[in-house]
Amino acid sequence: MFKFEKLDIWQKAIEYADLIYKLTQSFPAEERFGLTSQLRRSAVSISSNIAEGSSRSSAADLGRFIEISYGSLLESVSELVICKRQGFLNGNGFEIAYKKAEELARMLSGFRRTLKRS
């Protein structure tokens, strides 16, 4: 098992990406290379940057990757809003994803603060 796989924050990021993939399965076919792809990529980027950052030798380096992960999370939230406004997501799907995003944002922010202290 790799070090990053033990991190709760990485596991939550994987769960978020899984949710995004499930929610986007029903998106219109013409969005496959548009919002579907963009939303999936931003969601996957969150866990990927946590994993990559865990290989760095300093807390400051890991912190930069956590900041990138946070940016990817915010990107995905913006895309979720657009998907909802375009009618690709119903209110329930949006709310579930939004709450997961809020939880992940708190975890990323807390982890970053912890890294800054060390």
**pLDDT recorded at residue 118:** 78
Q: What pLDDT band is residue 44 in, cutting at 50, 70 and 90?
A: very high
Write out pLDDT tens, residues 89-107: 988 999 999 999 999 999 9
| d(C-alpha 7, C-alpha 13), whole Å | 10
Predicted pLDDT at 91: 83
Q: Which of 38, 59, 63, 47 is nearest to 4 (CA)?
A: 47
Q: What is the pLDDT of residue 56?
A: 92
Domains of the chain: 11-19+30-117 (1.20.1440.60)
pLDDT tens digits for range 46-67:
999 999 999 998 999 999 999 9
